[in-house]
Amino acid sequence: MTAREDDRGYFMRTYDSGLFAGFGLDLRWVQENQSFSAMQGTVRGLHFQRPPHAETKLVRVLAGSLLDVAVDLRQGSPTYGRHHAVELSAGNRRCLFIPRGFAHGFCTTSPGTIIAYKVDNQYASHAEGGLRWNDPTVGIQWPLASEPTSISAKDAALPLLQAIEPLAVGGEEVPGR
């Protein structure tokens, strides 16, 4: 979706259910989350929810910039264990759609970064899972000179891919649909 710009700034539609439905994506967003990272080089993730609480996400950056990463954890997927990385920024106004069965994380590339993302399932703490940000088998090229400027102890201690059970996400029912 493109922005309409003039001397005041811009207007842009950030989500259109009809456009998504045209691609076979009939989603009902149930939460919108936002996080702020003060420092450049902050790593958050890689997080996921186990079925039946798995989440589809639509991610965008409101301020600053980051490298956003999704890792395929879907059972039987031909791209299992591979990642996709996209630069998202307030300036480029790009969004990333992340299907269920993917771990999600990011590294800020500027200070004062704010990320917002819609999810299609309620968060369930007991279904929370994660993958270590620097797993060598996944091979993400983070925009870091060495270690993150900031990472939570919880994220730094997440397991490697080989210790994670693949996610069986096909066809599960979303509560409330």
Q: What residues act catalytically?
A: 47, 117
Which residue from 39, 85, 89 is spatially nearest to 64, judged by alpha carbons? Answer: 89
Cα–Cα distance for residue pair 81/123, rounded to 1 Å? 23
Cα–Cα distance for residue pair 152/85, rounded to 1 Å? 21
Cα–Cα distance for residue pair 158/130, rounded to 1 Å? 6
DSSP of 46-109: EEEE-TTS---EEEEEEESEEEEEEEE-BTT-TTTT-EEEEEEETTT--EEEE-TTEEEEEEES
